Amino acid sequence: SQQGEEDPQALSIQEGENATMNCSYKTSINNLQWYRQNSGRGLVHLILIRSNEREKHSGRLRVTLDTSKKSSSLLITASRAADTASYFCATDGASGSRLTFGEGTQLTVNP
């Protein structure tokens, strides 16, 4: 099964609202990453948080990591219609090997 699992599977909000997506994983990690995918395109890296970090910011993005609960959240503040996309979390294993992606959250931001 997938290492990372996103929740919810789909999220629909109005422009200006905040969007929160969650990711749970099963095994120990070195870091956790979030990616974005516009429809029919490749993935784009958004942010990486290391296992010894608890929170990280990048522009309107805020990521938290709770290694005791094996979970992470991605918060997008003041959402825009252009934020409409699928968002994936990706984890590595404790050995720092390749990434395993979750199934993604489909975010729709309505103008």
Partner 1 sequence: DVKVTQSSRYLVKRTGEKVFLECVQDMDHENMFWYRQDPGLGLRLIYFSYDVKMKEKGDIPEGYSVSREKKERFSLILESASTNQTSMYLCASSFYPGPHSNEQFFGPGTRLTVL
Mark 22-53 as b/e (b = at least 16 C-beta within 10 Å). ebbbeeebebbbbbbeeeeeebeebbebeeee
Cα of 34 vs its chain's centroid, Å = 4
CB nearer to partner 1: pick between 24 and 102? 102
- Strand-pairing partners, residue 78, are none
Closest distance to partner 1 from the beta carbon of 30 (Å): 6
| Residue from the set 59, 68, 69, 97 that interacts with partner 1 by CB under 8 A | 97
State which H helix or E strand residue 90 sits in.
strand 85-91
Q: CB 5 → partner 1: shortest distance, Å?
A: 9
- Minimal distance in Å, beta carbon 17 to partner 1? 26
Q: Figure out which of the listed residues 21, 100, 107, 109 binds partner 1, where binding follows CB under 8 A.
A: 100
Count of residues that bind partner 1 according to CB under 8 A: 25
Under rule CB under 8 A, residue 101 binds partner 1 = yes
Q: State how far the Cα of 50 lies from the Cα of 92, in Å rounded to an integer.
A: 11
Rule CB under 8 A: which residues touch partner 1? 2, 30-31, 33, 35, 40-45, 48, 88, 90, 92, 95-104
